[in-house]
Amino acid sequence: MPSNRMDTGGRIDRDRPLSFTFNGRRLQGFAGDTLASALLANGVRLTARSFKYHRPRGIVGAGVEEPSTLVELLGDDASGNRPATTVPLRDGLIAKSVNCWPSPGFDMGAINQLIGRFIPAGFYYKTFKWPGWHLYEPTIRKAAGLAAAPAAPPEQGHFESRFAHCDLLIAGAGPAGLMAALTAGRAGLRVMIADEATEAGGSLLNRRLTIGGTPALGWVKAVVDELATLPNVTHLQNTTVWAYREHNYLMVNERAPDNPGLLERNWRVRAGQVICATGAIERMLVFGNNDRPGVMLASAAQTYVNRYGVRPGQRAVVFTNNNSAYAVAADLAAAGITVAAIIDNRTDVPEEARTLVEDVDVLAGHVVTGARGARQVRGVTIAPVDGGASRQISCDLLAHSGGWNPAVHLWSQSRGNLRYDDTLTSFLPDQAAQDATSVGAANGQMILADALGSGARAGADAAGITMPDIPTSADLTYAITPLWRVEQGRGKAFLDIQNDVTVDDVHLALREGYDNVEHVKRYTTGGMGIDQGKTGNINIIGTVAMQQGAPLEELGTTTFRSPYTPVSFGAIGGLREDSVVLPYRHTPLTAWNIKNEAFMYESGARWRRPGYFPQPGESFQETVNRECRIVRNGVGVYDGSPLGTFEFKGRDVGRFLDHIYTNIMSTLKPGHGRYGLMLSDDGLIIDDGVALRLSEHRWIVSTSTGHADAMNSHFEELLQTQFPDWNVFVTTVTSQWNNATICGPLARNVMQALGTDIDISPAALPFMGFADGHVAGIPARLVRVSFTGELSFEVNVAPRHLPALWDKIMTAGAPFNIAPIGSEANHVLRVEKGFLSLGHEVDGTVDPYDLGLGWVMSKKKTDYLGKHAVAIRRSGTTNRRELVGILPQPDQMIPEGAPLTPGGERRPTEGLVTACVYSTVHDRWVGLALLENGHSRHGETVHARLKDKVIAARVTPPIHYDAVGERLRS
Amino acid sequence: MMNIPCPFCGSRNEAEFAFGGPVKPDRSDPNTVSEEEWVAYLTQVPNPLGPVQERWWHVKGCGMWLTIWRDTRTHDIVEGPADAE
């Protein structure tokens, strides 16, 4: 058994030894250990190197406050920057120190200690700014770096997130939190109590106190057992309330859920009321070399002997400014550690404290001016607080206590106020901003009886019942005389151990004019990172106060940010990866498409569509060309189901459509359709599409696929907020009407082969006409619209009929060599026709006139959305970018988005290429572009300026094929 | 994450809603106002420090647009001023 492990005592299981590896060394601990307690038990004292100066560091704390020993876990537990004090030991754990290479004992970066006086606060800001920080950043990051992020997500198990509601959320299961939970739980409230430690009890786990005349942990067990019997209470251990958001919404991370498949569970809790029973965190004392391994918070030393049965040293000196460390000294002595002396800056030590340690030398009115020893503490130099001769005491453990800071992090995140309390010399919760209270040490109730009382009071208030009886307990009173720093002595005196911030750094920041605590924080980095001001913050504020001669309450604190302790990204994300957050949309033909070897991709609004249907041996371009030729020369069919489709009903639909479309819709006769543009009121084109009038008060409006959701919002907002008395009802029917669109010169032949009771002659069913009936025996609505420029029949059917219809089209079309067409060919065909596409030709700067669609802007209507904005914009500018066609010279592809500059020179652009495709009609590349004054520049040559070359192009009208539109009307 | 009172569904998580922006003045007939007034109407959005009237769309709930007053300093949902509609 390692020499530092006590034979008895502690909450570890000596029958369950565990093996683990730290920096390559195989070591042993017990079930119930943390990595930190196991390291101390094995006598490992040098466990880390510091962030900036690479100074040797040991273990400072025993819980979430640990500022020093951050480790990277490897293997199954892979994660970075975990305080060793919060890593429960398990068999096979592999951990290594961060911040040092190759090891904390021999660290190349330790050279920084020699040049330490040349790298004060702000050094990096001042030095590495020319010519740019980015030049230096990679090297500095590597030198300063914390742990590496795991290369891949954990392989075993997954993360989940879960919503919960409760009447009362209690953060912390120490004496105050347990008392509150018991009181409110017994009264029937839905209570959730969460605590970050592996077991309940809070500070009671670390101290030797009694409640009701018996050991306090017996009381804890009785309360926990009773809470387990209450069905209205959810009690979670190993669970941190890490963020407090608006409207009593809190983030609660459960690290070891009772489910082997789960790594972590993040609860999102909406609480009626919140009780912050988050306890207090001991602060350090500030003296020379107060960061040496073996210099430890007094409460941590107490925790190691009482809770883990580990002696963190053999010969201790205790340095304090308050009573709590006397109980620590007594516990250390009881554990067999020699307590060489208690150094107390107070000249009068209360009798109740002194009697706890009658055999120990108490040096009242003294301070430790410095710790001696390089790689671990070997002694201390002490001196009277008011000056005088110093002397030395040898020791291998210096337990120090600078007092206690209530853990107000959650309270502050809730926007609750803080006030400075002179008696406690710390900041306490003041005015609540949400329905929250603080109890116990988190509220400055430092004595056990007060903590139990405040917990019971808050629980009773939450439940609206009278105050219950409180069990009796005994505790030391908390008397403190502030000591923000020891002014005598030499060596770096650290305020923030994690970020390597010293007293000198704060003084430098003040000298350079950063005199607000928030500025000091940013200039020195004190209180940043995962520390979030747990151990050092109040000392920094105290140091600023001393230097400025200002009271602390005037300086205030820096902002306490979430997360309170580090939370893994996996827990925040839960299962919400891409496909869950935004699931793909599929039409009923996905299975057919996949079976027919379509290349599937997303093309807007999460719809999975076939891009193209390659045949064996075909290249991408060959496939697209073949599909284009099929449509231009024969007949093709594509699945047009994703197109946004809305049914409008009501007496005022015509009036409403006249308001949202630029052209007049209300004059349309039932049985006919009309193309239109929709603008926002500030004149941007937001969508285009076709409206069909089914009957007097019933319409179908189609929108582009990608904008369907936005258009739905647009319709509803207008109708509900501006025209609530208009009789218009909008229903999304995109997935109620699916369609197969048969297009090409032979489309009518295929329709005849399919068989339909609708008269499909050009006279009976002209372009933009539609009719209801049957196609191939299936109830259908046949619509004559065209997105390809060819004769097209859009066969709309119920989704359950689409696969059957599709099969019949393939059979009936076989004699005409029909083939399925993907999105790529569709894109080529619409570019050939100069049909606009939102996001290509329409980008928020163009208006309908620029696109040559001036005819669609009604002159008759005095008002519609966007009319005035377009008029105002056009009245002020002359250089509009207008839609043109382009023919690259010589024939080649120009990348979409390529800028057009005068002469291809390095000059401001005069436009851009919006699309460029290989036209099988012309056997060459054709494109569309937005070009300044383009309508009057047909025949000119323009130049696309690329990174490595300039491509010339001839400007043409934007329609490359069938300019008069006789084919689509055929 | 706010808790937004929907008059039809009760208090619901903000995640169910889409933000609709601050409420602008009623849209007047653009033919009756000056160009400057129209541009101001289009481009200026209320952005006070304190209570602001704004719209939310309960898009993952009942589909209704609703109007609340929210204090931009605290996210508290508050009563509108006495002279508000």
CB-based contact A849:A841 (threshold 8 Å): no
User: How many interface pairs between A and B have CB atoms less than 8 angstroms apart?
Assistant: 54
Residues of A in contact with B40 (CB under 8 A): none
Does the structure show a pLDDT above 90 at A116?
no
> Which domains are present in chain A?
1-153 (3.10.20.440), 158-280+406-463 (3.50.50.60), 282-400+479-555 (3.50.50.60), 590-612+619-626+737-828 (3.30.1360.120), 644-732 (3.30.70.1400), 878-970 (2.40.30.110)
> Which domains are present in chain B?
3-79 (3.30.2270.10)
Of A433, A862, A863, the CB nearest to B74: A433
Q: What are phi and psi of A448, to 5 degrees?
A: -55, -45
The arithmetic mean of pLDDT across residues B42-51, rounded, is: 94
pLDDT bracket for residue A128 (50, 70, 90): low
Interface test with A, best of B24, B65, B74 (most A CBs within 10 A): B65
Of B1, B30, B75, the CB nearest to A868: B30
Shortest Cα–Cα distance, A436 to chain B (Å): 15
Of B13, B63, B65, the CB nearest to A721: B65
3-state helix, strand, coil in chain A (%, to 5): 30, 30, 45
The arithmetic mean of pLDDT across residues A705-725, rounded, is: 95
Beta strand ranges found along A635-732 (DSSP E): 636-639, 644-649, 673-679, 685-695, 698-703, 729-732
Q: Does A681 contact chain B (CB < 8 Å)?
A: yes
Residues of B in contact with A270 (CB under 8 A): 3, 13
Backbone CA torsion sign across A654, A656, A659, A663: negative
Residues of A in contact with B43 (CB under 8 A): 682
Share above pLDDT 90 across residues of chain A, in percent, rounded to a whole number: 80
The arithmetic mean of pLDDT across residues A698-709, rounded, is: 95
Biggest CA pair distance of chain B: 42
- The pLDDT value recorded for residue A911 is 96
Residue-wise pLDDT for A542-558, tens only, equals: 999 989 898 888 888 88
Residues of A in contact with B26 (CB under 8 A): 722
- The pLDDT value recorded for residue A2 is 54
Shortest Cα–Cα distance, B3 to chain A (Å): 6
Q: Report CB contact under 8 Å: B57, A713.
A: yes
The arithmetic mean of pLDDT across residues A105-120, rounded, is: 67
Structure tokens at A272: 């009626």
Q: Does A717 contact chain B (CB < 8 Å)?
A: yes
Residues of B in contact with A245 (CB under 8 A): 1
The arithmetic mean of pLDDT across residues A378-392, rounded, is: 94
Q: Residue A891: in which H helix or E strand, if any? A: none
Q: Report CB contact under 8 Å: B57, A245.
A: no
Shortest Cα–Cα distance, A688 to chain B (Å): 22
- The pLDDT value recorded for residue A845 is 85
- The pLDDT value recorded for residue A51 is 79
- The pLDDT value recorded for residue A152 is 80
Q: Quote the DSSP letter at residue A467.
A: P
Burial A142-153 (b: 16+ CB within 10 A, else e): eeeebbeebeee
AA letter at A94: I
Instruction: Identify the weakest region by mean pLDDT among A115-124, A248-257, A477-486, A803-812.
Output: A115-124
Q: Does A720 contact chain B (CB < 8 Å)?
A: yes
The arithmetic mean of pLDDT across residues A321-342, rounded, is: 97
- The pLDDT value recorded for residue A425 is 93
Of B2, B18, B31, the CB nearest to A713: B18
Q: Report CB contact under 8 Å: B27, A681.
A: yes
Q: Report CB contact under 8 Å: B31, A717.
A: no
Residue-wise pLDDT for A593-618, tens only, equals: 999 999 999 878 899 999 999 999 99
- The pLDDT value recorded for residue A402 is 95
- The pLDDT value recorded for residue A508 is 92
Instruction: Identify the weakest region by mean pLDDT among A205-209, A494-498, A883-887.
Output: A494-498
Does the structure show a pLDDT above 90 at A374?
no
Does the structure show a pLDDT above 70 at A146?
no
- The pLDDT value recorded for residue A1 is 45
Give dist(CA A142, CA A575) in Å, integer.
32
Does the structure show a pLDDT above 90 at A489?
no
Q: Does A519 contact chain B (CB < 8 Å)?
A: no
Of B1, B18, B65, the CB nearest to A245: B1
Q: Report CB contact under 8 Å: B38, A869.
A: yes
Q: Does A156 contact chain B (CB < 8 Å)?
A: no
The arithmetic mean of pLDDT across residues A106-120, rounded, is: 67
- The pLDDT value recorded for residue A138 is 66
Q: Does A431 contact chain B (CB < 8 Å)?
A: no
Average pLDDT score, chain A: 93
- The pLDDT value recorded for residue B84 is 62
Q: What residue has token string 């009321």?
A: A273
Question: Which residues of chain B have a Cβ shorter than 8 Å from any chain A Cβ?
Answer: 1-3, 13, 18, 20, 26-27, 29-31, 35, 38-39, 42-43, 55, 57, 59, 63-65, 67, 74-76
Q: Which residue of A has its CA nearest to B23?
A: A721
Share above pLDDT 70 across residues of chain A, in percent, rounded to a whole number: 95
Give dist(CA A693, CA A690) in Å, integer.
10
Give dist(CA A149, CA A159) in Å, integer.
17
- The pLDDT value recorded for residue B80 is 80
pLDDT bracket for residue A20 (50, 70, 90): very high
Shortest Cα–Cα distance, A371 to chain B (Å): 47
- The pLDDT value recorded for residue A912 is 97
- The pLDDT value recorded for residue A125 is 64
Shortest Cα–Cα distance, A104 to chain B (Å): 43
Chain A 390-429, residues with CB within 8 Å of chain B CB atoms = 415
- The pLDDT value recorded for residue A358 is 94
Residues in Cβ contact with B70 at an 8 Å cutoff, skipping those fewer than 6 apart: B2, B51, B52, B54, B76, B77, B78
Interface test with B, best of A270, A713, A720 (most B CBs within 10 A): A720
CB atoms < 10 A from the CB of A338, how many?
A: 15
- The pLDDT value recorded for residue A149 is 76
Q: What are phi and psi of A818, to 5 degrees?
A: -65, 150
Biggest CA pair distance of chain A: 115
Of B13, B26, B57, the CB nearest to A717: B57
- The pLDDT value recorded for residue A139 is 65
CB-based contact A970:A635 (threshold 8 Å): no
Indicate the pTM of the whole model: 0.88
Q: Does A348 contact chain B (CB < 8 Å)?
A: no
Shortest Cα–Cα distance, A642 to chain B (Å): 20
Residues of B in contact with A580 (CB under 8 A): none
- The pLDDT value recorded for residue A141 is 59
- The pLDDT value recorded for residue A114 is 65
Shortest Cα–Cα distance, B20 to chain A (Å): 8
pLDDT bracket for residue A256 (50, 70, 90): confident
Q: Report CB contact under 8 Å: B20, A681.
A: no
Does the structure show a pLDDT above 90 at A580?
no
Q: Which residue of B has its CA nearest to A862?
A: B31
Q: Does A863 contact chain B (CB < 8 Å)?
A: yes
Q: Does A246 contact chain B (CB < 8 Å)?
A: yes
- The pLDDT value recorded for residue B44 is 93
In order of A670, A678, A858, the CA distances from A664 in angstroms are 14, 11, 7
